[in-house]
């Protein structure tokens, strides 16, 4: 699995926590734990499991016969309706840790103002399927080395919507 957000995606930072180890040297930067909540197309479920989307969503005959898509408006999903399992299951946790990610928070003033955190761990995933083909995805992002200047800006973003990208680590295949 590899969760990737290549284009700027609207996300809400719901919490910012300082991570400070007791054995940290005085000149070492503390870490940060950021909790995110974002709304994505149900196609993002394939990041977790290829069959999760078809388990939670379907395309009912009523939705395909009733409304036609609006011209110029992109369809959110080809399977917009929740299955009975999707309705009954509701919000659920997904236990998996992802390592080596890079988070970029767009500050809106060009690349120089962006906040970048490297070597991040993604965990504590929460998935809430919604009728209409979207999911609300929540997760925890931890970075062990956050410079003082960046941490100060992160603290001001708590409970704010931001534009983010998430880049997965590069997997290098060594030749045998």
- Please give the average per-residue pLDDT across 136-152, as a whole number: 92
Q: Is the dihedral of CA 50, 54, 57, 62 positive or negative?
A: positive
For residue 50, give both structure tokens: 């290829």
Q: Is 158 helix (H, G, I), strand (E, B) or coil?
A: coil
- Please give the average per-residue pLDDT across 156-162, as a whole number: 94
Contact indicator for 47, 139 with CB cutoff of 8 Å: no
pLDDT at site 66: 46
The Cα 31–Cα 34 span in angstroms is 10
**Which residue spans within the chain are E strands per DSSP?**
5-19, 31-41, 57-58, 81-82, 92-94, 98-106, 115-130, 134-143, 160-167
Tens-digit pLDDT profile for residues 54-96? 999 998 765 544 455 555 545 667 888 999 999 999 999 999 9
What percent of the chain shows pLDDT beyond 90? 64
Q: What are the phi and psi torsion angles at 150 (to 5°)?
A: -70, -40
- Please give the average per-residue pLDDT across 135-149, as a whole number: 93
Q: What is the pTM of this model?
A: 0.85
Tens-digit pLDDT profile for residues 18-36? 887 777 777 888 889 999 9
**Residue 160 in this model has a pLDDT that exceeds 90:** yes
Q: What is the mean pLDDT of the chain?
A: 87
The Cα 167–Cα 176 span in angstroms is 27
pLDDT at site 151: 85
């Amino acid at each position: 699995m590899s969760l990737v957000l290549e284009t700027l995606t609207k996300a809400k930072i719901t919490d910012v926590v300082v991570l400070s180890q007791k054995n940290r040297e005085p000149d070492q930067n503390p870490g940060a734990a950021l909790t995110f909540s974002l709304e994505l197309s149900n196609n993002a479920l394939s990041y977790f499991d290829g069959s999760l989307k078809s388990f939670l969503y379907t395309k009912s005959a009523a939705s395909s016969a009733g409304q036609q898509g609006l011209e110029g408006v992109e369809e959110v999903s080809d399977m917009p309706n929740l299955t009975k399992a999707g309705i009954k299951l509701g919000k659920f946790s997904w236990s998996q840790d992802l390592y080596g990610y890079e988070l970029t928070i767009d500050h809106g003033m060009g690349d120089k103002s962006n906040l970048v955190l490297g070597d991040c761990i993604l965990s504590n995933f929460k998935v809430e399927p919604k009728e209409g083909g979207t999911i609300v995805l929540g997760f925890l992002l931890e970075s062990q080395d956050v410079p003082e200047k960046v941490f100060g800006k992160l603290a001001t973003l708590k409970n704010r919507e931001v534009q983010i990208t998430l880049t997965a680590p590069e997997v290098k295949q060594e030749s045998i």
